[in-house]
Chains A and B, each alone.
Chain A
Amino acid sequence: MTISETNSPFIALSSISKAYRTRAISVPIFDNLDLSIEKGEFVAVMGPSGSGKSTLLNLLAGLDGPDSGDIKIAGQRLDHMGEAARSAWRAHHLGIVFQFYNLLPMLTAEENVELPLLLKPFPASIRRERVAKTLDLVGLCGFGRQNPSRLSGGQQQRVGIARAIVSDPTLLLCDEPTGDLDRASADEILTMLGYLNRELGKTIVMVTHDPEAAEAADRILHLDKGAFVERARVMS
């Protein structure tokens, strides 16, 4: 590892510009946006609807590309990779947690959690073991054979988290992970994310509308009109 890489942040976005173009108009989302996130940080992103929070996560996930600017994660230039390389990159470095869980309804909880492991060269026995361990970690021991539709919202989201972390990625992206949950379930999920961040060292970027949820993070970024307004936690 070179010195510059050691010193550069885990996630570094510089001068990102992004606009959505339809035939008639162009809607600018980001204009010269910069962002850096350190390894092991837990960052919450807030902001009004349409401010570009999901777009930011899509850029970090390599699901979308910027019009201009650099995206560097763990020393790799995401914006220089092709489609297949970005897929492979996601498989190795990234877990995603969705607002509506996005569990595959025809698969059991276990099979859902196993999916990301299929992208790696693990034999079936190791896959089974890791799935069981991960379900255990999110407190769903014994629920593996259940169909997602038989689980509560909070349980489904825990399956979603298990699926996101089962292949041990360094970065977790969560788009309103508690947006569809009641307070108690939301708190459970936030506690779990906090645990994953502190104990397992996951870097987490979480989009949320809920100020209480944002409190779980180390740092809160406010995205408004395509730029960050950073505030200290104590002040919010």
Chain B
Amino acid sequence: MRSTIRQITAMSRTTLLSIPRRLAISLSMVGSIMLVVCVLSGFLAMARGFEITLQSAGSPDVAVVLGGGPREEGNSEIPPDVIRSLMATRGDIGVLRNDRGVPILSREIVVPVEFRTDPDAVGETLALRGMDETGPGVRAGVTLSSGRPIQPGTREIIVGEQLAARYSGLGVGNRVRLGPVNWIVVGHFSSFGSALESEIWGDIDAVAAAFNRVGEVQSLRLRLAVTDQIDGLSRAAAEFVGAQLIALTEAELYASQSAGTARLVRYFGWPIVLLMAIGATAGALNTMMSSVSDRTVEIATVRAMGFSRVSACLATWLEAVLLSVVGVGLGLATSWLMMNGWEASTMGANGTSLAFQLVVGRDAMVEAALVGLAIGAVGGAVPAFAAARLPVTDALRGRG
């Protein structure tokens, strides 16, 4: 047993010391594994970042009421009499009320708007959300980072930090054209980097008037009295039979939205990564086959001394695994240094753009590392057996 370990150690050492002789092809194996690791962790970081952004956007303290059936704001519709009845309820529905006992509630609509940095540029679709004056306050963790709040009934807007950072045209005091009319940016708001920061907020009546949607309400936002306790509101909503109301926490709403997109990114990413991984495995196989043929005489010589097949096999396999460890290490380092925190943007809800940061998380790194190691382990297996079964006498005659 001790001798076996010593044989394997000695064989592995000579194998690794001989890598400089075939540096180019060894580096190509390291490089291809590194690439696979980078691409996979890139996809996973995208999916994860998207999830985190949307999940953090949704607070478990905020209730959203949607009407008409769908679980997303875009096609939801709340009839005006429902709003009146809700505001008039005296029973306990689990939401915060103002000092006159009326539930604090914000009526909201979201309109996709074209935004151009200059008249000739291609427009980008952004989300303009019209809301009541109570809107920012109903939400948890929203603060005004510069400027002032919107005056109700005016064409004033406040802009999320992510957007403000991306477009200098959205600075406080600027006049911007969204849809058919001009708006004045009066402030910027932050919400700890969540998806809310990709929105523009305005007064609901001004927004509805500008886009011919007067009287329309898509959703209601209310603040829950107890975190995550939505049951009271759900029961109240169920009483409006015709309106098909759904009450859910904002966290639930965004989670169900992000789940779809994140899944899409992953389902799209994995096949690409697997194809690349197959290519990289073929490359690893080729690299290791050339390692075996490069070391033919050395392997045959020590086998003639009495070294075992196992040691020839394991040393070769170890070289493959070690090269893939280097590839994985470089790949993870690269993706972490270059991608973690990278700003990206994608389609959010309602067909509008949503900024999010790539997050190279621990799970993504572990998954990418395992795929990278598997490439080396699988690609090195056949050459390892070739090394074990190397015909010693032919190799010593120089016919290896």
Contacts and interface: CB of A to CB of B under 8 A. Distances in A.
Contact of B305 (A58, A83, A105, A119): A119
B14 A118 contact: no
Contacts of A120: 3
A121 B307 contact: no
B387 to A, nearest CB: 14
Interface stretch (B181-189, B232-240, B256-264, B391-399): B391-399
Interface in A46-98: 54, 58, 61, 63-64, 83-84, 87-92, 94, 96, 98
Contacts of B2: 121
Contact of A115 (B10, B297, B392): B10
Contact of A91 (B10, B298, B305, B392): B305
Contacts of A104: 14, 298, 301-302
B9 to A, nearest CB: 8
B392 A63 contact: yes
- Report the interface size class on chain B: 20 to 34
Interface in B130-176: none
Contact of B10 (A63, A64, A92, A118): A118
A121 B1 CA distance: 10
A98 B10 contact: no
Contacts of A163: 305
B393 A119 contact: no
Interface residues of A, number: 28
Given A106-B17, A118-B7, A63 B393 contact: yes
Contacts of A121: 2-3
B18 interface: yes
Contacts of A119: 3, 6-7, 305-307
A107 interface: yes
B116 interface: no
Contacts of B297: 102
Contacts of B303: 87
Interface string A92-131: 1010101000101111000000011011110000000000
Nearest to A164: B305
A122 B396 CA distance: 28
Given A102-B297, A104-B14, A96 B305 contact: yes
A81 B353 CA distance: 74
Interface of A: 54, 58, 61, 63-64, 83-84, 87-92, 94, 96, 98, 102, 104-107, 115-116, 118-121, 163
14 contacts: A54-B397, A63-B304, A87-B306, A87-B307, A90-B304, A91-B307, A92-B306, A96-B304, A98-B301, A102-B297, A102-B298, A104-B298, A118-B7, A121-B2
Q: Which 7 A-B pairs have the closest CB atoms?
A: A91-B306, A106-B17, A90-B306, A102-B301, A118-B6, A58-B393, A87-B306
